[in-house]
Amino acid sequence: MDVTHDPATLSWVESANDPATDFSIQNLPFGRFRRNALEPWQIGVAIGDQVLDLHAVGLIDHLDMQRLMAAPVTERRALRLSLWEGLRAGSALQKVWSQALLRQSEVEMGLPCEVGDYTDFYTGIHHATTVGKLFRPDNPLLPNYKWVPIGYHGRASSIGASGQQFHRPQGQTLKPGAAVPDFGPSARIDYELEIGAWVAGGNGLGEPVAMAQAEDYIFGLTLLNDWSARDVQAWEYQPLGPFLAKNFATTVSPWMVTLDALAPFRADFERPAHDPQPMAYLDSAHNRAAGALDVQLEVWLQTPAMLAAGNPGQRLSTSNMRDAYWTLAQLLTHHTVNGCNLRSGDILGTGTLSGPAPEQGGSLLELTQGGKMPLTLANGETRTFLQDGDTVILRGYCTRAGVRRIGFGECRGTLLAAR
Ligand SMILES: O=C(O)/C=C/C(=O)CC(=O)CC(=O)O
Ligand SMILES: [Ca+2]
Ligand SMILES: [Mg+2]
């Protein structure tokens, strides 16, 4: 375990030492903030309830997150170590660096970088099985699922940072029993609980990335909500897959948690013995020993009635990234195996991360069995799909005995009425 994970290290930023904080000195995630809309986005690191301005402390001489992400992995590690050195209790830099701290509550957080291309995978096998049953009762998990990481090319332009608000989209749907489709506002807006992996550097066109190097091409992870219009999806998705059902909005949390910060939360990746084992190009000893990540995930819902009552929301479900059927390294390697070039700032979504139990569904589609079994909330309200004004909050964090907790912050988005 490297020194930055030592749980005994405290920070001179007091709020970072709270055992409940997402942003202990062992985390140090990167994001972009600004004090006001006239200022360009600045690069910062979260520490407790503060942001450290990297340019102001002289750790970078530019404001270009893509450039920082494209630095060789050894330089990225050295930067993380410098941050840890400067922020730990007793550091000689405290006096100077404390001038470059801002309260998170006093800045606006934006997208962590300019978003490049967006690919969304389908690694949640429990999600794929449950959703497959709803869309294709006789053929839920297609035979390719256990051989090839399934994905589709998503839409980058509508990705927004936490706090994103969007209008209920219009679209074509086929009502049950109808012979021809209708046009109007979607009646089945849903969320999807995912992790997004931000690409660092990138590979040249025609140059596949092998499993052994794949993780060097990942800068860090955020939470990702792939908002989905289920009625539009059911009518449009064959034969080319998701299109307008999923490209009207996608929300990400603002802080990129590095794979270095997540190192203590690695988990082994084992396929059930009766499943096909990954092909050689998707296999490595490191991947089998430590390719998975133990990240606990939660979905919260705050309805307009809860907001009015000062209720911060109700937790709808929990799950864990460990249950994914493919690892991040496998997704990145598979994406490039044909020579496809990934670039700094691209984002790969894992797909909906549901757990094995029915109450661990990472979408309302699963939790309500396709809208047939409404959820009754603690305040007496019910939901099948989202209603206007609903806010969905994703949270993620890692805990383990003997190491400090690290968290992702939150990914929050609100559905507004149709225009
Ligand atoms: O056709 C299906 O089985 C479902 C496809 C999706 O919902 C695509 C998607 O976004 C997958 C995911 O998030 O896991
Ligand atoms: Ca998705
Ligand atoms: Mg989406």
pLDDT digits over 172-199, tens only? 999 999 999 999 999 999 999 999 999 9
- Nearest one of 119, 138, 129, 291 to 196, comparing CA atoms: 119
Q: How many domains does the chain have?
A: 2
Pair 207, 166 in one domain: yes
pLDDT tens per residue, range 388-405: 999 999 999 999 999 999
CA atoms within 13 A on the CB side of 193: 36
| Ligand 3 mean position, distance from CA 247 (Å) | 5
- Same domain? For 233 and 189 the reply is yes
pLDDT, position 135: 82
Q: Please tell me whether residues 49 and 86 are part of one structural domain.
A: yes
Query: 299 and 321 share a domain?
Result: yes
- Give the tokens for residue 148: 């090839």
Q: Which CATH number goes with the domain that contains 310?
A: 3.90.850.10
Q: Do 228 and 335 reside in the same domain of the chain? A: yes
Q: Is the CB of 237 under 6 A from ligand 1?
A: yes
In the listed set 109, 143, 158, which residue is the last one of a domain according to the structure? 109
Q: What is the mean pLDDT of residues 57-68?
A: 96
Residue 1 has pLDDT above 80, yes or no: no
104 with 216, same domain: the answer is: no
Pocket test for ligand 1, best of 352, 353, 360 (most atoms within 8 A of CB): 352
pLDDT tens digits for 143-168? 999 999 999 999 999 999 999 999 99
pLDDT (tens digit per residue) in 375-387: 999 999 999 999 9
CATH of the domain at 31: 2.30.30.230
Element housing 393 (H / E): strand 391-398
The answer to whether 194 is a known ligand-binding residue is: yes
- Model ipTM value: 0.92
226 lines ligand 1 (CB under 6 A): yes
For residue 139, what pLDDT is reported?
A: 82
Same domain? 96 vs 128: no
Alpha helices in 337-399 (DSSP H): 364-367
- From the CB of 243, is ligand 1 less than 6 Å away? no
Q: In whole angstroms, what separates CA 182 from the centre of its chain?
A: 33
| The domain boundary residue, chosen from 59, 78, 109 | 109
Instruction: Indicate if 161 and 178 belong to the same structural domain.
Output: yes
Q: Does the Cβ of 151 fall within 6 Å of ligand 1? A: no
Nearest ligand 1 atom, CA 246 = 10
Spell 70-106 as b/e; 16+ CB within 10 A means b: bbebeebeebbeebbebbbeeeeeeeebeebbbebee
**Closest residue by CA, ligand 1 atom 3:** 132
97 and 171 together in one domain: no
351 and 294 in a single domain? The answer is: yes
Q: What is the mean pLDDT of the chain?
A: 97
Verify that 126 and 76 share a domain, yes or no.
Answer: no
Are 247 and 339 members of one domain?
yes
The residue range of the domain holding 22 is 3-109
Which of 56, 74, 109 corresponds to the end of one domain? 109
CA–CA separation, 50 vs 100, rounded Å? 10
